[in-house]
Structure 1
Amino acid sequence: MAFLHVAPNRLLSGHPASPHIALLAVAWLLAGAAGFWRGGALVAGLLTIGLPFLAAHDATQLLQQATPTTRIQLGAGFWVMWLAAALLLLDRLRHLRIAWRTAAWICVAAVFVTGAAVGAFHDIGLVREWRAQRGAFADALATHVTLSLVTLGIALAVGAPLGYIAWRKRRTGGALLGVLAFLQTVPSLALFALLIGPFAWLAREWPALGALGFGGTGAAPAVFALVLYALLPVVRYTAAGLDAVPGDTREAARGLGMTRGQVLLRVQLPLGWPVLLAGLRIVAVQTIGLAAVAALIGAGGLGRFVFLGIGQGATDMVLLGTLAIIALALAADLLFQGLLAMNERRA
């Protein structure tokens, strides 16, 4: 597989280029050795950091005698090697405490940010695409984060009480979980499309809603669909967290004179919070990924770059949106891991 591709412009495919075959072969051997060595995190980290800088160096060399419209695109060989190195680093770091893991990833990110600040990656097609779309990318990123946060907040506000009902009334809870599980089987694209008609009707019947931006397309149906997908894990993990508290503990609290509400707030929620937090972690990552589809109904977000890139045949634009979504999901996952670790230390 080619390490790079030299394309005449951002839309056309080019010819493969792998200037450092011997060096890449040595990198593969180092990666294989690090997989069997407990201290291989250093090698994996060097590969994770070094491969993008090697690609940037090669891109600069290849562009010296090329036309101004030429794009140097990252090839399949680069992505396979870089993802293998990143996964290897992740595997080597998972034995460490969350604080050390976070520090390691912050160091890796700091190296890339510093390299980007000094212009080390400016000749790579993906970075050139970002520079051309910088303003639109910033707006799409803010919209994507807003959609995800609003969805998470509404899902928690609605799903937590439903989870309590599902825990208190098993028969009702079974039916509720069945309905929410059925919604999970509906394809996301189909659900977004099905909501256009009802939301457009609501906007026509109540003009005040339309004045607030509530319509068949845009953020309103997107958030509603995302909330529907997020409810199942929130409800299920809320019920599981409440159920994780031993019955003896609840009876002891009732014996001390606590009311049912006091037992819930002072005993069950603090003890069941880690389980609910694990559910929110799943919801956050799932929502960030699904929010990409919301671009198809005019809600904006990073999915706009993915679908525009597919329509134009611009691989770098697709990667720009995709990699940003992956980075957001990983950041959310790391944040919730940190919250879980803090909760365990307090316990």
Structure 2
Amino acid sequence: MTLAANRIVAGEGVQVWQLATLAETLPGIAAVGAGLLLGVQAGRQRLRVAGAIIGLGGLFWLLMRGAPALMEGAGEYARVSPALGFWCLLLILMLLLADALAQRTPGPVARAGLLAAVLGTLGLILWSGALSPLSIMQEYAGRRDGFADAALRHLALAFGSLAVAAGIGFPLGILCHRKAGLRESVLPTLSLLQTIPSLAMFGLMIPILGWVGDSVPGARALGIAGIGFAPAFLALVLYSLLPVVANTVAGLAAAPPAALEAARGMGMTPGQRLWRVELPLGLPVILTGLRIVLVQNIGLAVIAGLIGGGGFGTFVFQGLNQTATDLILLGALPTVALALVSAIVMDILVELSRPIPKDTA
């Protein structure tokens, strides 16, 4: 951990055995050591999962015990933060946990249960106030209302742009699947949009929507202006179209010819074949496209903070301007957590959407 005189200056590193008394730090040190030893056991995946969880518990134990001890007598403006050693150990233990889980290949229900347990445990730790002495939690305490507003804005940017892109991309993807000529013109155009750097795309939206806001009656009343939420939202929608359309086309094209021929033999119309055969069989590929879009938009929404679009990027860029690392983390960590949770949930939905082959034995 590090101990700094205030939120701006660089802190001095504190070794793990100096965080608090030996009686307080020893359980955490032992848990981290045991977690690392168990996590590298080849071929024993349950043991590796248990070890990674024990090690992560030890890390948070050290945070909860060390932060209050370091703050005692350190001064009113002193700040305590996790240091590089903490982040390295956190990354190693999370990689060990992810690798062990991947080797065990748990089903979607097991993964959903594990995700709920992790989120519940983390929420309980945060709710208990055990980590409140940390600098990042003090940054949050001073910006509680602003954090809630930023979270809602970030969710609106990421999920709202996904919904609009899906509403446009699904019908367009179906048309592209049906008409080869349209597909040959639409997909290269959407691919070209993807090549525009994200910051440039946000910049291009500013003069376009600025002109719309000034020229179209009532546009500003709807929130359409050169800066703010609207240009960021439109840029994310444009970025989202290619994965939605391309994966819709690929999903529909993945339907086996035998299944389509059987549907024709049953007298199904083209519309019935689409809804009863092609879409159900192509749903995993289509959901994979939505997963790509959602994770991409959660990350890109951070840049919206540069043009007044709100979201967690507001804290990231404020922290960069103030050289306040913990303020940067206040925006970055929720973004990473939201992206990880969204990716896991979408992976679960993709797996649940796959047709289960009947046992032919």
Tell me the TM-score range normalised by the shorter chain: over 0.9
> Could you list the per-position Cα deviations for residues 21-79 of structure 1 after superposition, in whole angstroms to 9, with x for gaps in the alignment?
88759835742541233221011011123212212211111111200110001111101
Which residue matches 1:67?
75
Which residue matches 2:296?
286
Q: Which is worse superposed, 321-330 or 22-31? A: 22-31
TM-score (ref. length: structure 2):
0.90
Q: Is the 8 A contact 1:309 1:317 kept in 2?
A: yes
User: Which of structure 1's runs of 4+ aligned residues deviate more than 4 A?
Assistant: 21-26
Q: Which is worse superposed, 161-170 or 296-305? A: 161-170
Q: Of residues 5, 10, 13 in structure 1, which corresponds to 2:7?
A: 10
Identity %: 39
| Equivalent-residue separation in structure 2 for 1:223 and 1:51 (angstroms) | 38
Give 1:133 shift: 1.2
Give 1:81 shift: 0.4
Structure 1 gap segments, 5+ residues each = none
Q: Is the 8 A contact 1:167 1:239 kept in 2?
A: yes
Which residue matches 1:121?
131
| Equivalent-residue separation in structure 2 for 1:306 and 1:13 (angstroms) | 18
Which residue matches 1:219?
229
Q: Residue type matched to 2:3 in 1?
A: V
TM-score (ref. length: structure 1):
0.93
| Equivalent-residue separation in structure 2 for 1:298 and 1:151 (angstroms) | 17
Distance 1:57 1:109, change over 3 A: same
Q: Which is worse superposed, 315-324 or 41-50? A: 41-50
Is 1:206 the counterpart of 2:216? The answer is yes
Q: Is the 8 A contact 1:53 1:120 kept in 2?
A: no
| Equivalent-residue separation in structure 2 for 1:308 and 1:233 (angstroms) | 32
Is 1:271 the counterpart of 2:268? The answer is no
> Could you list the per-position Cα deviations for residues 134-153 of structure 1 after superposition, in whole angstroms to 9, with x for gaps in the alignment?
11001100111111121011
| Equivalent-residue separation in structure 1 for 2:67 and 2:300 (angstroms) | 33
Q: Residue type matched to 2:80 in 1?
A: I
> Could you list the per-position Cα deviations for residues 92-118 of structure 1 after superposition, in whole angstroms to 9, with x for gaps in the alignment?
223222222222232233222222222
Give 1:193 shift: 0.7
RMSD (Å), alpha carbons? 1.9
| Equivalent-residue separation in structure 2 for 1:208 and 1:61 (angstroms) | 57
Which residue matches 2:39?
34
Q: Is the 8 A contact 2:34 2:54 kept in 1?
A: no
Which residue matches 2:22?
none
Number of aligned residue pairs: give it.
344
Give 1:182 shift: 1.7
| Equivalent-residue separation in structure 2 for 1:30 and 1:214 (angstroms) | 52
Which residue matches 1:237?
247
Q: Residue type matched to 1:278 in 2?
A: T
Q: Of residues 202, 207, 219 in structure 2, which corresponds to 1:192?
A: 202
